[in-house]
Chains A and B, each alone.
Chain A
Amino acid sequence: MALSILTIVGLILLQLSLNVIQPRQYSLQQVLSDAYLTFERSTADRIPFEDLIATDSPWPAFPNIETTPVEIGRLPGGRAVLGEVTRTRFADQENYPIDGGAGTVATNPAAMKIWKVQSVLRYQIAERTYVKSRTFVRAQ
């Protein structure tokens, strides 16, 4: 009787501690990937517009994409979390045709060039793949 109670209590305690640890492990990865994405935001903010729309741009015009492997951080114990970031950019539909849109002088009299710049971070932890994205708007 005492044995079975002890075993059950032991199992319940194990379950409880796993319940505490698992969400914390999930949020570890969120903290790391959010921190990495601040780099994407900073790069997209800072890159000269000319380089952004150049043929060798880090964000090629969709449907072209560019995928780069990255290390987004390290977990306790020093294990690196590896991922890959896929970058692309989408033209606003009011851009002139030369800039990937369908705008005309009537719809876009100021000849604005507007691009949505998107970075998608994909990383894998223990068989599961997580995907996170950030989109920024650059205009000239």
Chain B
Amino acid sequence: MELSLVIVIGITIGSIVMAMLNQQIAFLRIFKAQSFLNEEAPVISNHISKLLLSAERFRLHANLSDALSGANPRLTDSPAVLLNFRQPDGTVRAGILSFQNVVDKDEATIFDYTQAVDDTKPMALYYFVIPVSGTLSKPEWAVTDKPTDIDFFVEAGIIRVRLTGPAGEEIIFSGSM
């Protein structure tokens, strides 16, 4: 009698502990799924919308090298956008936001933008400032590597950017010029 009572209590305690563990794991899973929109998206929004709002004009391209050379401008969803900014002295400088393969941080040489088609590397959003010489070097900022996809597109003349997060979440920012 005593033995069976002890066994029953033991099993009950064991199952409650398991349920608590389960609950903790479920909590962590939900917490992690929320983190892209809660933590990453506002920061990305801050960076990108400042750039889009202060740019004078923009041009969409399929990749970084097209954006740099000005070849094949497009109107469809694009991973790269060239932004022109007017300087105080009236000259125009350009920058490129590009969602592409990760740039090797240890690489001592100048970033070779033709690597942008290397599919073995993960993707990240970079901001490049084009120097006066016109030769592209390493990105100025690495904005984020969390989204699985980033598309710049134009709707009614407004530039918009759609971020797709790791859990299928989607958020769209817009800029005007």
Contacts and interface: CB of A to CB of B under 8 A. Distances in A.
Interface of A: 2-3, 6-7, 9-10, 13-14, 17, 20-21, 24-25, 27-28, 31-32, 35-36, 38-39, 41-43, 45-46, 73-78
B36 A76 contact: yes
Name which of B37, B38, B173 has the most chain A CB atoms within 10 A of its CB: B37
Interface string B15-31: 01101100110010011
A78 B167 CA distance: 7
Given A2-B13, A3-B12, A10-B20, A24 B31 contact: yes
B169 interface: yes
Instruction: Tell me what chain B mostly uses at the interface: helix, strand, loop, or mixed.
Output: helix
B12 A76 contact: no
Contact of A39 (B12, B37, B170, B172): B172
Q: Ordered nearest first, which 5 A-B pairs have the shortest CB separation?
A: A78-B168, A42-B176, A74-B170, A76-B167, A17-B27
Interface string B140-177: 00000000000000011110100001011111111111
Determine chain A's interface SS by DSSP, over half rule. Answer: helix
B84 interface: no
B107 to A, nearest CB: 34
Given A6-B16, A17-B23, A17-B27, A42 B165 contact: no
21 contacts: A6-B17, A9-B20, A17-B24, A28-B34, A31-B37, A31-B41, A31-B45, A32-B37, A35-B173, A38-B173, A38-B174, A38-B175, A43-B158, A43-B176, A46-B156, A46-B157, A73-B171, A74-B170, A76-B167, A77-B33, A78-B169
A38 B170 CA distance: 15
Interface residues of B, number: 38
Contacts of A7: 16
Nearest to A38: B174
Given A13-B24, A77-B167, A3 B16 contact: yes
Contacts of A10: 16, 19-20, 23
Given A13-B20, A13-B23, A43-B156, 17 more contacts: A2-B13, A3-B16, A6-B16, A20-B27, A27-B38, A31-B171, A32-B171, A35-B41, A38-B174, A39-B155, A39-B158, A43-B174, A43-B176, A46-B176, A77-B168, A77-B169, A78-B170
